[in-house]
Structure 1
Amino acid sequence: MAGNSDPLTPRAKLAVTAGKAVAAASRAAGRGSGSVIGGRVALKLDPDLLARLAQHLDVTLVSATNGKTTTTRLIAEALKAAGPVVSNALGANMPAGITSALAGGSEARFGVIEVDEKYLAGVARDTDPKCIALLNLSRDQLDRAAETRMLAENWREGLAGSKAVIVANADDPLVVWAASSSPNVIWVAAGQMWKDDAWSCPSCGGVMQRPGDDWFCSECGFRRPTPSWALSGDHVLDPHGSAWPIHLQLPGRANKANAASSAAVAAVFGVPPQVALERMYQVQAVAGRYDVVQFEGRDLRLLLAKNPAGWLETFSLIDPPPTPVILSVNARGADGTDTSWLWDVDYTRLTGHPICVIGDRKLDLAVRLEVANQQFQVCENLDQAVQLCPPGRIEVIANYTAFQDLRRRVGN
């Protein structure tokens, strides 16, 4: 444990109180959870508040382009075996949202914090984490996010010499390059379905060779490190070679990979793999993702996929044809306004599924599906799309704000 800190300064207490009051007012006005605006107000009153709130916690940071919200939930569940946990479970993952989350956890021993990729270095400076989990880096929000190698470079520079234990995905060359500046890294073979951001060497720009599950640069010798933890089918292999069964209610290979990384993090804090993996079974859904809801006499499974890597993983877990699929894409601020990433997604994987298309950018998606030779119908809204589907299960896949729209419509 990080040791009991001094009580918060009067200024810090005032900042926390003011932040909570603003958050409560925002909720009362129906403007969401209020965590971001509350955190912003608190940080204005005390710019060092995040560091003060974190000083009595053993902190784990989780960052990635895909899977960080789910992995944060799984780690938090596992660490509850060792003591009380505070976490930004709702996914507000920039400094203001993180500050709000920690302000509510005065009794906690552990802080498990999801961090937006662009803010990782700064949050790591403020919170002095004991562990940092790095899952993947892939293209996302093309109009405003730095391209992936620049993000990897930010991580590499920001984490150089960090005292934290870095738990990193050995199968993602960008993550390996970013983590390699740190003295204490635990490598996890978590897999990488989406490889299109990792064909050139992040170290020298040379062409990456990718035989089987291995990878290496033939020009500079940068190569996949030997993992000490690995996902193997439905089991996690620990550093002693023991295989532990994965108990999850969440679907798909990607969540098993998230569980493998989470088990490695839990072990850093002394929670054994068997205990950690059994506790992860408690997680049924994450901020509405994977929920099955009844709507208009059908069972809708809500799936979030916000970039090509996410869509690829999601296609691998949907029920086989002829299960109907509804696709919804927006391009609002939180999504990124550039939808050219749609052309990076292999929609031929939906062949045989009846497809309905909704969302602000349904016509962009329709053009893409036309080129992929898919059978689809463009619909005005969710209600119309559902009416076109037969009774039974429907897979609904949406990007970020489209997913929030869906949850509001189905009352989830």
Structure 2
Amino acid sequence: MSLSTAIAVGAGRLTHWGLHGVLRRNASQLPGRVALALDRNLIADLSHKLGRGAIVVCGTNGKTTTNNVLAAAIESCHQRVLCNRAGANMAAGVASALLPGSSADWAVIEADELSTVHILPGLRPRYMVLLNLFRDQLDRAGEIDHVQDTIAAALASSPNTVLVANGDDPLCMGVALRARKSGTRVLTFGIGEDLDLPADRVPEARFCQACGAELEYEYRAYAQMGKFSCPKCDFCRPQLDFCATGVRVTREGVEFDVVHDGKRSHISAGFGGVYMVYNLLAAFAAASLAGVGAGSFQGAIDDYNPRNGRLQHFVVDGREVILNLAKNPTGFNQNLSLLLADERPKALYFAINDNFNDGKDISWIWDVDFERLAGQAELTAICGGTRAGDVQVRMKYAGIEADVAPLVEGALAQAASLPKDRPLYVLTNYSALWPAKATLERVGVSND
């Protein structure tokens, strides 16, 4: 380790101690920011302490869950893992995750899509998992082709990285198409059967990534995910290296088999929806490549307890409260599918902020299928966040009368008049998630 790297590491660790040990504050980013200011090549310098390498998890939705399940699975095999579990997924957060200790077996790193060009050149991961690509934070990220180009450029800067991509997503396969041109090896995962689910009202990725013709689908799982093909060229859903079959999705959880290299492994989890099948399938694929057996992977799922606001359950004054993140149309629509799978009368609280990390443009709420909730028996809807009024108007156009409560405390107060057996679902975007989680932890008991 060079003198400059040693100074940067020392400064970063001192910052972490001050924040976490003294001030009891989150230390997921500032230590890395301080260290990178002293050594701009810090990520590359710290990558040398990884005995087996790094795995990067990237994509619009599901990064944190997939990343943390993967890290837990590798740790279950008695290997030391460095991981940015809190979801600090830009360069500073990655540097912070790499600071502890003098050695580790693996780094399992969640990466923001646009930050991959700052992370991959130094980290040089063995694998990069690409979960999905959806329109998200348009005022920051721009259109999806810009995101695809960024990820492809990042992969070109790390030529030995294997891309493990969602083969059901034509946008991920568009990245694979670009990456293969620079010599990147590609493996794929996906669902190998029709789940007989309704198509989303506003689908993504209608057109071929190679020639621009409109894609055809034999079936869809959700959004643009499914068995697609182009009628004009050979662009299509590839033969899957990790294929999920026998998929069952209920309110109680998911289960499926994974077929890989002629072997079949059974996976089950007590949480999620169809999107969780993809998350767990991706984590299983990466864990398998890292040498984790199916039994160890299932054991990690059984012990997994996120406590990060993603499908986290609470009990508040005898009422079940379910908290989850929903930050773009596809994420919201998948949450609505989970709500509809729960046949009980229920209360819903949608909190949308427009802070910097959320994106100022919230026009995407008009692409959410709120109409699917219209006609639900005994439904109580409440809107919150800095853009509560906008959400209330959107709900009105969907045929749903909704009240306004800027903070989750107000939603809990309104729900208090309802029978205790009616759950309250709290769906928030980024900056609204942590305040809601903090409130629910203060007034309730986590049931996970």
TM-score w.r.t. length of structure 2: 0.85
2:150 alignment partner, one of 154, 172, 177: 154
Write out per-residue CA displacement over residues 45-76 of structure 1, whole angstroms, 9 at most, x where no aligned residue. Answer: 11111111112321000000000100000110
* Aligned partner letter, 2:357: A
For the pair 1:104 / 2:100, whether they are aligned, the reply is: yes
Pick aligned residue for 2:62 from 55, 62, 67 = 67
Matched, 1:323 2:318: no
Q: What does the per-residue CA deviation read over 1:1-60, in whole Å, with 9 as the maximum and x for residues that have no partner? A: xxxxxxx22321211121122334445786941332221110111111111111232100
Match of 1:175 in 2: 172
How far is the alpha carbon of 1:242 from its aligned partner? 3.6
User: Any unmatched runs of 5+ in structure 1?
Assistant: 1-7
Shift of 1:282: 1.6
Q: Does 1:207 align with 2:214?
A: yes
Q: Which residue of 1 aligns with 2:430?
A: 400
Report how far residue 317 of structure 1 moved.
1.8
Equivalent residue of 2:345, what SS? coil
Letter in 2 for 1:145: A
Aligned position for 1:4: none
Q: Which amino acid is the alignment partner of residue 284 of structure 1? A: N
Which AA in structure 2 matches 1:355?
Answer: A
CA contact (8 A) 1:82 1:271 kept: no
Q: 2:238 maps to what in 1? A: 225
Contact 1:207 1:217 (8 Å CA) reproduced = yes
Residue pair 1:164, 1:184 contacting (<8 A) in 2 also? yes
Structure 1 residue corresponding to 2:28, chosen from 20, 27, 35: 35
> Contact 2:165–2:188 (CA<8 Å) still a contact in 1?
yes
Distance 1:277 1:257 in 2: 15
Q: Counterparts of 1:93 and 1:397 in 2: how far apart (Å)?
A: 22
Residues 388 and 235 of structure 1: is their aligned pair in 2 closer, same or farther, counting only changes over 3 Å? same
Matched, 1:384 2:384: no
CA distance in 2, matches of 1:19, 1:190: 42
Task: Mark the CA change 1:316 to 1:106 in structure 2 (over 3 Å): closer, same or farther.
Answer: farther
The residue number in structure 1 matching 2:366 is: 343
Secondary structure class of the residue paired with 1:72: helix
- Which residue of 2 is the match for residue 365 of structure 1? 391
Identify the match of residue 355 of structure 1 among 365, 381, 394. Answer: 381
CA change 1:30–1:375 in 2 (3 A) is farther
Give distance in 2, aligned partners of 1:120 and 1:312.
27
Local SS of the residue matching 1:214: strand
Cα displacement (A) at 1:349: 2.4
Q: Is 1:314–2:331 an aligned residue pair? A: no
The equivalent of 1:409 in structure 2 is 439
Unaligned residue ranges in structure 2 (runs of 5+): 220-225, 248-254, 443-448
Identity of aligned residues (%): 32
Q: Tell me, yes or no, if the aligned pair for 1:63 and 1:114 is still in contact at 8 Å.
A: yes
CA distance in 2 between partners of 1:308 and 1:21 (Å): 41
The 3-state SS of whatever aligns with 1:357 is strand
Residue aligning to 1:132 = 128
1:338 is paired with a residue whose SS is coil
Structure-to-structure mapping, 1:49-60, within 5 angstroms: 49-57=42-50, 58-60=53-55
TM-score by length of 1: 0.92
Structure 2 distance, partners of 1:304, 1:336, is 15
Q: Is the 8 A contact 1:294 1:300 kept in 2?
A: yes
Contact 1:300-1:394 within 8 A present in 2 as well: yes
Structure 1 residue aligned with 2:288, among 267, 281, 285?
267
Q: Could you tell me how far 1:321 is from its partner in structure 2? A: 4.0
Residues 218-249 of structure 1 deviation map (CA, whole Å, 9 limit, x = unaligned): 23331111102122212232223443222323
1:156 touches 1:177 (CA, 8 Å); kept in 2?
Answer: no
TM-superposed CA distance for 1:170, in Å, is 0.4
Q: Which has the higher strand share?
A: 2
- Indicate the larger mover: 35-44 or 204-213: 204-213
Deviations 1:226-282 (A, max 9, x none): 102122212232223443222323322222221111111111122122322332222
Query: How many aligned positions are there?
Result: 405
Q: Which amino acid aligns with 2:162?
A: V
| Residue in structure 2 matched with residue 186 of structure 1 by the alignment | 187
The residue type equivalent to 1:379 in the other structure is A
1:170–1:224: 8 Å Cα contact kept in structure 2? yes
- Mapped contact 2:256–2:268 kept (Cα < 8 A): no
8 A contact 1:27–1:34 mirrored in 2:
yes
**Inter-partner Cα distance in structure 2 for 1:294 and 1:368:** 29
2:81 to 70, 74, 85: 85
1:141 aligns with 2:171: no
The whole-number CA distance in structure 1 between the counterparts of 2:190 and 2:46 is 33
- Secondary structure, counterpart of 1:342 in structure 2: helix
The code of the aligned residue for 1:21 comes to L
Secondary structure, counterpart of 1:59 in structure 2:
strand
